[in-house]
Amino acid sequence: MGPAGTGVVVEPVARRRSRLRRYLVAEAGAVGLGYGVAVLRDGAPASGRGWALVVAGAVAVAVPLWVKSRRELRQELDIRSAETVAIETDAKLRLVVGDVVTPIAEVVGRVHQTSGEDREALRGQLQQLVVEAAASLCDAERARAIFWKLERGEMRAAAWFGRGDAPTTVFTDDPGDRRGQEALLLVRFHDYLLVDDVRAEGLPRGAEPRPGATYRSFISVSVFCGEQNLGMLSVDAPEPHAFDETDLNVMRAMAQLLGAGLVDRR
Amino acid sequence: MMRGQVVPEEARAWTAGLLLATDYFAHARREAVAKASAAIRGRLHRTRRASSPDRETSR
């Protein structure tokens, strides 16, 4: 298990040197020169009042120029920000659909073309690919993704990727294991759960972290296919509010791909 | 025209366990940003050209 990528937030777009700033400086220079020529055409002012008029005129010319340049620079900044957001969104779409879903779907297909030990090996590989993809795609610093496999009524970590600490939790249906009961219910009802901050008040039942947990926010998604319950895919991060609805949808897609690969023929 | 592999070699290497996920995603992210950047700037350029006043008057 290696470290997770730093989410799918794209690298900063290279800052292009603004031409607008140069145009504005040139415009201010030209206006200043024109004003100077107009003032000095008939010679320098001879009195204090004359100089006061020159200064007042200069201020009257400079203020609208300054306001206009500020407005244009702000507009340019807004356009750049919108462009960056558009690039980030487009890049994420390419990454999710082209670089993750497509190759994983191909592995899912191969799982169902094989049998016996080969199939089990491919399923293990698929679990690992899905947690690697989930940790790398979700926008969180130091995210960790885990697939909790459901076997004999309990869930244990079968594959994980991301932050160093290996998951040790076992979710059971024991009366004293409230978190386990709720996790098993989430799987049974084919639900998902996104928690922004486990230290916030008003958490849903069973969403509280175990003592000493290193995460503040998480997403858990049921892994199933048809009526077959297979486990739970989760991603967590040490920061609160690390995940948004896009991450949730990525996790839902990953969970369904995993379910499609792990399901047994009936 | 565009033609290529549905599942590229790098993706095959990742799914086969021959390429580390960290390396695969670092490369994929760089490629995605570069292509997205070119695509968005191209789209913006075409939009600006289509809506520029010169074009309107030259018709």
Per-residue pLDDT, A6: 40
Q: Which residue in B11, B17, B41 is closest to A99 by CB distance?
A: B11
Decide if pLDDT at A250 tops 60: yes
- Residues of chain B with Cβ-Cβ distance to A118 below 8 Å are none
Predicted ipTM? 0.80
Whether B2 has its CB under 8 Å from any CB of chain A: the answer is: no
For A8, the closest chain B residue by CA position comes to B29
Inform me whether the C-beta atom of residue B48 falls under 8 Å from chain A C-beta atoms.
Answer: no
- Tokens in use for B47? 């939009």
Nearest to B6 among A95, A102, A161 (CB): A102
Cβ of B38 under 8 Å from any chain A Cβ?
no
Q: Considering only CB atoms, which chain A residues are within 8 Å of B25?
A: 5, 95, 99, 132, 136
pLDDT level of residue A191 (50, 70, 90 thresholds): very high
A87 contact residues in B (CB cutoff 8 A): 33, 36-37, 40
- The chain-wide mean pLDDT, for chain A, equals 88
Confidence of residue A42 (pLDDT cuts 50, 70, 90): confident
Using pLDDT thresholds of 50, 70 and 90, give the confidence band for residue A210. confident
Reported as a single tens digit per residue, the pLDDT across A99-126 is: 999 999 999 999 999 999 999 999 999 9
Instruction: Using CB atoms, pick whichever of B7, B20, B29 lies closest to residue A95.
Output: B29
**Which residues of chain A make contact with B33, given a CB cutoff of 8 A?**
10-11, 13, 87, 91
Is B32 in Cβ contact with A98 (below 8 Å)? yes
B22/A contact by beta carbon, under 8 A: yes
Report pLDDT digits (tens) over B5-38: 899 999 999 999 999 999 999 999 999 999 999 9
User: Averaged over A205-233, what is the pLDDT?
Assistant: 91
Do A90 and B12 make contact, defined as CB atoms within 8 angstroms?
Answer: no
Residue A2 clears pLDDT 50, i.e. is over it: no
Instruction: Round to whole Å and give the CA distance between A250 and A255.
Output: 9
Structure tokens at B43: 């789209």
pLDDT grade for A17, boundaries at 50, 70 and 90: low
Beta pairing, strands A228-237 & A217-225:
antiparallel
| Confidence label for A211 from pLDDT (cuts 50, 70 and 90) | confident
pLDDT value at position A266?
Answer: 58
pTM metric for this prediction: 0.79
Burial class (CB in 10 A: 0-12, 13-18, 19+), A109: exposed
Q: Looking at the predicted structure, is the pLDDT value of residue A177 above 60?
A: yes
A134 touches chain B (CB under 8 A): no
Q: What is the mean pLDDT of residues A82-89?
A: 93
**A125/B15 Cβ within 8 A:** yes
d(CA B56, nearest CA chain A) in Å: 23
